[in-house]
Structure 1
Amino acid sequence: MIRTLVDMTAERFSHYVYSLNRRTPSISGFVRASVTLREMVRATSFSHGQALTYLAPPKGLFHQSMLKRLARWIGEDIAAREARPDLIVGHKLTIEGIVAEQVANALGIPFAISIQGDSDTKILSARRDLSRSFGRIFHDAKMVFPFAPWALSAVEKRLGMRKGATVLLPCPTDIDHPTPPQIGNGSLVSVFHLKNARRKNLDSMAAASTYLADRDRQVPISIVGGGSDSDRATCQRLIGNAPGVTLAGPMNREALREFLPTASGFIMPSRRESFGLVFIEALFCGLPIIYPKGQAIDGFLDNAPFALAVDAQDPASIANAMQHVIDHEAELKSALADWQASDGAARFKRTSIAEAFAGGLNQAIT
């Protein structure tokens, strides 16, 4: 996601990326390394900048302190490279945002942040002791890029309404050329790596399938995605005896483009989801979607008949949406065809996302 944003705006901005990666050493190793910044951070150059691995204790201990030390390292590196930037951008309020604020303040320049719903809301909930710091970062940023409307609402609920500038920034995909909807084969499809089956709520999809079967309805679900033998075994246990839920295996991008339009709809009622790029891909492939209420793309498609929000914790809610998609497929796909040609769909295309990101960066700088 971040690399795509950088690449899409590379002709307008000179980006330099610090990719942050946390590593948890043993306690003794952490104590030894904590003596100097040099030993706390390891840097590896790559095409867009540097990948930084920093040491930090497990379970979020010293979360802010370690990130502030990392910010010092980055500030010193910027000074050594004699490449003073016009803007610091931290992707994720509760992690990179801490670093961005520290570096920007040290250099006397503005900073911007993005809000990635799942990670940020999880850390905001777990680290209430840092609410004052997170609130300062959120309100002092010259620009905030929420990936989805619900993510901004969730953060504002905890940190207060933001008065500064915000630009909604959907995640870009290479599948953004609409395939006109066609009547499908009466099945639903879901796409995820099998190691994420619990997070993507495969067990509730299976329970919803059983719920329908008990009422003399069967709606097959094909799960597209690769994984290890252990991942497949876990999925089979989650599916259990649910009728019609099958593992279709992995597919490359071209195969997925061809496979998706053959289904009647797309389903992924995830337990946690920051954005869920595959929902937009499914819409561009002509499929009505079933997504988790209050997460993923919630807020982008309010009142759209082809986007059904469900309670991810309630198999009956999921089952009712599944039946609705099958029973009203022609009607839903007709509305989806109109949407594909609208400004509502255009906002999810790479060109529009690049313009939104570039405009937000310029506004933050000026």
Structure 2
Amino acid sequence: MWTGFFSKSGTGIAEERHQNRRACTDVPLLAERNSKHPDRPYGFAKYRQSGLDIYAWHGMYFFPRFPFIDIDCIRWVCAGLKAFKHYIRENGLPDLIHAHCMNYAGILAFKISQKYGIPYVVTEHSSTITRGLIRPHQWQPMEKAAAHAAARLAVSRHFAHVLQHKYGCEWQYLPNILGGIFNRPFEQREKNNKPHFVFCTVSHLRRLKGHDVLLTAFARALAQCPQLRLNIGGSGQEEQRLKQQAADLGITHAVTFLGALQPEAVLDLMRNSDAFVLASRTETFGVVYIEALSQGLPVIATRCGGAESIVSDGNGYLVPVDDDDALADALIKMYEHHSDFEPARLRENCLNEFGENAVIGRLIGIFRQAIAEYGKKIPVKYSGLTKIRTRRRSRRQYK
């Protein structure tokens, strides 16, 4: 049994955990779910989702938020500890905990480590740090959890540098893993006879993703290259405003809003496009970039933090954040020089760096090193836990 797993939220994190499961003996998920409705479930629950065991603790919001006390963190950690007790009753202690996001999962991993003597590794995905959304009183438990982690991983090189400066300790770069369906083999479709050159973009429609800048830039590029088209996948609070912006710019004939898309639909969209573009204002990584590259699409991205670890001269173009002129020039350049990018090579390079085998192999090496080093300095007070560690796992059948 190699690892426990903790996550506050995020479908991208859940997808990565699903990939990690293929390489680890046991990868359970602990989750805490709160509700304001008294008729909702309360207490421990265990269920299976996508073939994965989930140990959850359902709680209630009894108290309002306080400006100087993080009640949410206290409640989340307490719930996680309760769920973890149920886990070890059935499985014994894991050899290692892998926490995704320091706040609150890293703090929970630290508490469990202190109580049970288990090493933990933290992978940080959250942009709350780069966006300045962490409140002053939240830093102390986060810094303590970071200091005691066996390894600290960041999903981009730029993000690792930011975290190292914030925490004052070393962070390693380890990218996110390319999702399962994007690893499927495919034959590149012939696109030379298409009447239009199609850009696609996929994300939540919110200000951070920079769709307002993209529409302005696309309008300028379209004026010079009428063959251009833009398909926008995703939904969100900015949707109606963006549709109105497209109408005001007079480009509705060339821009299509597709709404929220399931992964299969995203895959189909990319396979029927010529290039990918996203004008994000901030990203810690940007999974959608590697998804596009895996389908042989060159990428236009902004220097927003995460993209710099993915996009280079060999697979696309980088432009400054909020620079619609530079973005318009990049759209035109991509249209005129698209033949410079070989789809098969884009896909091969993407899989070599971000595919399951590449990333999981490195992650397992980090896990092994963390377990080995922790074993050399495990305190005496934890020696009595041997019986729990060697306890036979309870095997239940799930329908």
Q: Is the 8 A contact 1:89 1:113 kept in 2?
A: yes
Please give the secondary structure, in 2, of the residue aligned with 1:298: helix
| Superposition deviation, residue 270 in structure 1 | 1.9
| Superposition deviation, residue 292 in structure 1 | 2.5
Q: Does 1:236 align with 2:247?
A: no
Please give the secondary structure, in 2, of the residue aligned with 1:44: strand
Tell me the distance in 2 between the aligned counterparts of 1:182 and 1:153. 42
Residue identity in the other structure for 2:320: D
Q: Does 1:44 align with 2:9?
A: no
Name the residue aligned to 1:315: 324
Counting only pairs closer than 5 Å after superposition, residues 89-238 of structure 1 correspond to structure 2 as 89-122=98-131, 125-162=133-170, 166=172, 168-173=174-179, 174-177=181-184, 179=186, 180=188, 183=191, 185-193=196-204, 196-213=205-222, 216-218=224-226, 219-225=228-234, 227=235, 233-238=240-245
- Tell me the number of residue pairs that the alignment of Structure 1 and Structure 2 aligns: 342
For residue 359 of structure 1, the aligned residue among 344, 347, 365 is 365
For residue 94 of structure 2, the aligned residue among 85, 94, 118 is 85
Cα deviation per residue 1:11-55 (whole Å; 9 max; x = unaligned)?
A: 6322231123455x59xx9xxxxxxxxx9x743322222233445
Counting only pairs closer than 5 Å after superposition, residues 261-276 of structure 1 correspond to structure 2 as 261-276=271-286
| Superposition deviation, residue 354 in structure 1 | 2.8
Tell me the distance in 1 between the aligned counterparts of 2:244 and 2:256. 12
For residue 345 of structure 2, the aligned residue among 306, 317, 338 is 338
The change in CA–CA distance for 1:240 and 1:157 in structure 2 (over 3 A counts) is farther
Tell me the distance in 1 between the aligned counterparts of 2:83 and 2:108. 13
The change in CA–CA distance for 1:252 and 1:299 in structure 2 (over 3 A counts) is closer
Q: Is the 8 A contact 2:57 2:80 kept in 1?
A: no
Name the residue aligned to 1:257: 267
The change in CA–CA distance for 1:105 and 1:65 in structure 2 (over 3 A counts) is farther
Q: Is the 8 A contact 1:68 1:98 kept in 2?
A: no
Please give the secondary structure, in 1, of the residue aligned with 2:309: coil
Name the residue aligned to 2:32: 20
Please give the secondary structure, in 2, of the residue aligned with 1:144: strand
For residue 295 of structure 1, the aligned residue among 276, 291, 305 is 305
Q: Is the 8 A contact 1:190 1:224 kept in 2?
A: yes
| Superposition deviation, residue 192 in structure 1 | 3.0
Q: Is the 8 A contact 1:131 1:159 kept in 2?
A: no
Residue identity in the other structure for 1:140: H
Q: Is the 8 A contact 1:178 1:284 kept in 2?
A: no
Residue identity in the other structure for 1:270: S
Q: Is the 8 A contact 2:156 2:175 kept in 1?
A: yes
Please give the secondary structure, in 2, of the residue aligned with 1:275: coil
Tell me the distance in 2 between the aligned counterparts of 1:363 and 1:55. 39
Q: Is the 8 A contact 2:294 2:347 kept in 1?
A: yes
| Superposition deviation, residue 142 in structure 1 | 0.5
Tell me the distance in 1 between the aligned counterparts of 2:185 and 2:127. 28
| Superposition deviation, residue 110 in structure 1 | 1.4
Tell me the distance in 1 between the aligned counterparts of 2:136 and 2:316. 34
Query: What fraction of aligned residue pairs are identical, expressed as a percent?
Result: 18
| Superposition deviation, residue 155 in structure 1 | 1.3
Which consecutive unaligned segments of at least 5 residues does structure 1 have? 30-38
Residue identity in the other structure for 2:369: Q
Residue identity in the other structure for 1:240: A
Cα deviation per residue 1:268-307 (whole Å; 9 max; x = unaligned)?
A: 1123334322211211111111122133332234x43322
Q: Is the 8 A contact 1:114 1:145 kept in 2?
A: yes
Residue identity in the other structure for 2:203: F
Residue identity in the other structure for 1:199: L
Which consecutive unaligned segments of at least 5 residues does structure 2 have? 1-11, 373-399
Please give the secondary structure, in 1, of the residue aligned with 2:175: coil
Residue identity in the other structure for 1:191: V
Please give the secondary structure, in 2, of the residue aligned with 1:169: coil
Instruction: Give me the TM-score of the superposition, normalised by structure 2.
Output: 0.73
Please give the secondary structure, in 1, of the residue aligned with 2:308: coil
| Superposition deviation, residue 92 in structure 1 | 0.3
Tell me the distance in 1 between the aligned counterparts of 2:143 and 2:189. 44
Residue identity in the other structure for 1:15: V
Name the residue aligned to 1:348: 354
Q: Is the 8 A contact 2:69 2:137 kept in 1?
A: no
Please give the secondary structure, in 1, of the residue aligned with 2:31: strand
Instruction: Give me the TM-score of the superposition, normalised by structure 1.
Output: 0.79
Tell me the distance in 2 between the aligned counterparts of 1:252 and 1:129. 38
| Superposition deviation, residue 252 in structure 1 | 5.0
Tell me the distance in 1 between the aligned counterparts of 2:232 and 2:116. 49
